Amino acid sequence: MSGNIRLLTDTLAAAKAEGRSALVAYLPAGFPTVDGGIEAIKAVLDGGADVVEVGLPHSDPVLDGPVIQTADDIALRGGVKIADVMRTVREAHQATGKPILVMTYWNPIDRYGVERFTAELAEAGGAGCILPDLPVQESALWREHAEKHGLATVFVVAPSSKDKRLAEITAAGSGFVYAASLMGVTGTRESVGTQAQNLVERTRATTELPVCVGLGVSNAAQAAEVAGFADGVIVGSAFVKRMLDAPDDAAGVEAVRALAGELARGVRRQV
Question: In whole angstroms, what is the distance from residue 244 CA to residue 27 CA?
Answer: 12
Note the helical H segments in the chain: 5-17, 34-47, 66-77, 82-96, 106-112, 114-123, 140-148, 163-172, 195-204, 220-227, 237-245, 249-267
Question: In whole angstroms, what is the distance from residue 259 CA to residue 262 CA?
Answer: 5
Indicate which residue of 39, 53, 120, 231 is catalytic.
53
Indicate which residue of 39, 50, 64, 84 is catalytic.
64
- Give the Cα-Cα-Cα angle 178, 183, 185 (nearest 5 degrees): 80
User: Is 60 among the catalytic positions?
Assistant: no
HEC profile for 122-146?
Answer: HHCCCCEEECCCCCHHHCHHHHHHH
User: Is 144 among the catalytic positions?
Assistant: no
Instruction: Indicate which residues carry an active-site annotation.
Output: 53, 64
